[in-house]
Amino acid sequence: MFKILIADSLPDDILNKYDKTNGISVVNKTGISKEDLIAEIGDYDGLVVRSRTKVTADVMAASKKLKVIGRAGAGVDNIDTDEATKRGIIVMNTPGGNTMAAAEHTLAMMLAALRNIAPANASMRQEKWDRKSFLGHEIYQKTVGVVGLGKIGREVAKRLNAFGATVLGYDPILTSEHAARLGIKLVDLDQLYAQSDIITLHVPKMAETLNMINSVSLAKCKDGVVIVNCARGGIINEDDLAAALESGKVSLAAIDVWSSEPPADFSLAKNPRVLATPHLGASTEEAQVKVADQVLDQMIHYFTKNVARNAINFVSVDEEIQGLIAPFFELARRLGTVFNQIKNGRLREISVRYYGTTLDVPVEPITSYLLMGALKSATENPDVELVNPVNALTIARERGVSIEIAKKDTPLTVHTNAIACDFITDNSTVHLAGSVVGQNIFHLIEYGPFKLSAELGGQMLFIENDNVPGIIGKVGSILGEVNININHMSSGRDGDAKEALNVFNVNGHLQSDLHVKLEEVNGINRVVIAVVDSH
């Protein structure tokens, strides 16, 4: 018998439906306090929460049997996923279940703010007939910037197009072609800030997005911009927004989510230029039924079939092949990470070919790790969605990235296993291939037209140069002058032997201008620096 504890409110019909499932006991403890949750959790295999309950390290430490934490919703910032991963606890969410509810609430908030619906209604309740005080604005022919084009952001963009708005979008993954098909002009963040009359946010709360709307980003916006946030609290610096409202930089704000909920300070919510709601984005009867049904169905599917759908920290692979496939997960992630740092343009297409012993294991999960490395944003650019091995393939396809996966019987090289990838961007094609050559030893064996055997990890210098004597010595001298130690080096030549590639694995502080110094050497054509962490 598997026991599932319900910590936050779910519809009774759904609870009754799953409590009747053979081998499953669903216990409703809606509104349980943290102290009582810690005392109670030890007897349960599963825990279901919405946004109220915080599943912290001390809650998990009190569990003896907990296998799955299910979030009835998309965001998981109220769950310590790192701690869950350490403890082998799967964290699942329910992406898509509340997409329409959140998209519709965003449009409702935007319209209500622009047309002064709330204050006009309050005036009528006071038996006042005051039309002049509530002159509003239209969405029609406005430029609306959508930050984050995941499921909800895309649905919002579709509806904005129907209003006749010009829709700008920022997303580090979505291809420009796919954006165009959705009626969105893809731009960078600074362009979006500068050109938008209205900005609506649809990104998750994470380290990279915390306080992304602040005094610096607001200064880049048009005077009188309208800000809408129905995504996550903490994305907006509330003090900076209050100051911008006071100065007139921001004319209106529509806010559904708050840095602390309920707010410790209601002054921003009381601002006459702010339309405020208490985190109602997913609060429709339809959405609540969908996410409740989905999360319990997923949890029971895992308990009965050992398949984890919509897990954010787990790839469901048969236990018998975990040992065989794990090294290829890491090789693929490292290849994707190298591409991410040397790319020139947005990824549009990827072709992956598997050789040798990689044919003995499922290759789609390996491709997920490759895409996770390739799609992860740099820290200065927020991820639109948290990219992980579970959702990487889905996110890539949703953003219009074409994916081709093939198994090849013929060997690529003398290596017993290999993964070869062609990453096609807006501007170029990047070819990489790698191999697992020993326990926790990964080598880059192809880079463009060059064949080599470079250690795939740590700090890597890729130096493309004319195939002439003396280059390696000059590189060594420059590195020595800045206290960079060379751990390993590998060289390769192109087919005509006119150009060479030298890959240096190094230790030491890589100065920001190091590539400039190296490219000043006669005969060196290009220098790229990549840092590949050991995951």
d(CA 423, CA 344): 10
d(CA 322, CA 361): 9
The answer to whether 279 is a known catalytic residue is yes
* Residue linked to tokens 């964290």: 91
d(CA 179, CA 171): 9
Q: What's the DSSP call for residue 107?
A: H
Q: What is the largest CA-CA distance in the chain?
A: 90
d(CA 411, CA 422): 17
Taking alpha carbons only, the member of 134, 262, 144 closest to residue 198 is 144
Q: Do the strands 90-92 and 68-71 form a parallel or antiparallel pair, or are they unpaired?
A: parallel
> Torsion-angle region of residue 234: left (phi > 0), alpha (psi -120 to 50) or beta?
left
Taking alpha carbons only, the member of 102, 82, 90 closest to residue 150 is 102
Q: What's the DSSP call for residue 377?
A: P
Rounded-to-10 torsion of CA 15, 17, 21, 23: 10
User: CA of 335: how far to CAs of 277, 384, 408, in Å?
Assistant: 45, 22, 19
Q: Do the strands 499-507 and 458-466 form a parallel or antiparallel pair, or are they unpaired?
A: antiparallel
Q: What's the DSSP call for residue 213?
A: B
DSSP-assigned states of every residue in 301-344: HHHHH---TTBSS-----GGGHHHHHHHHHHHHHHHHHHHHH--
Residue 351, classified by CB atoms within 10 Å of its CB into exposed (0-12), middle (13-18) or buried (19+), is middle
Taking alpha carbons only, the member of 105, 137, 131 closest to residue 119 is 131
**The token pair that represents 27 in the structure block:** 């216990």
Q: How many CB atoms lie within 10 A of CB 208?
A: 16
Q: Which of 279, 333, 353, 399 is catalytic?
A: 279
Q: Which of 232, 415, 443, 515 is catalytic?
A: 232
The answer to whether 261 is a known catalytic residue is yes
Q: Which of 138, 246, 261, 364 is catalytic?
A: 261
User: CA of 125: how far to CAs of 119, 121, 132, 493, in Å?
Assistant: 10, 6, 17, 80
Contact 169, 190 (CB under 8 A): no
Taking alpha carbons only, the member of 378, 375, 379 closest to residue 346 is 375
d(CA 147, CA 193): 10
> What residues are labeled active site?
232, 261, 279
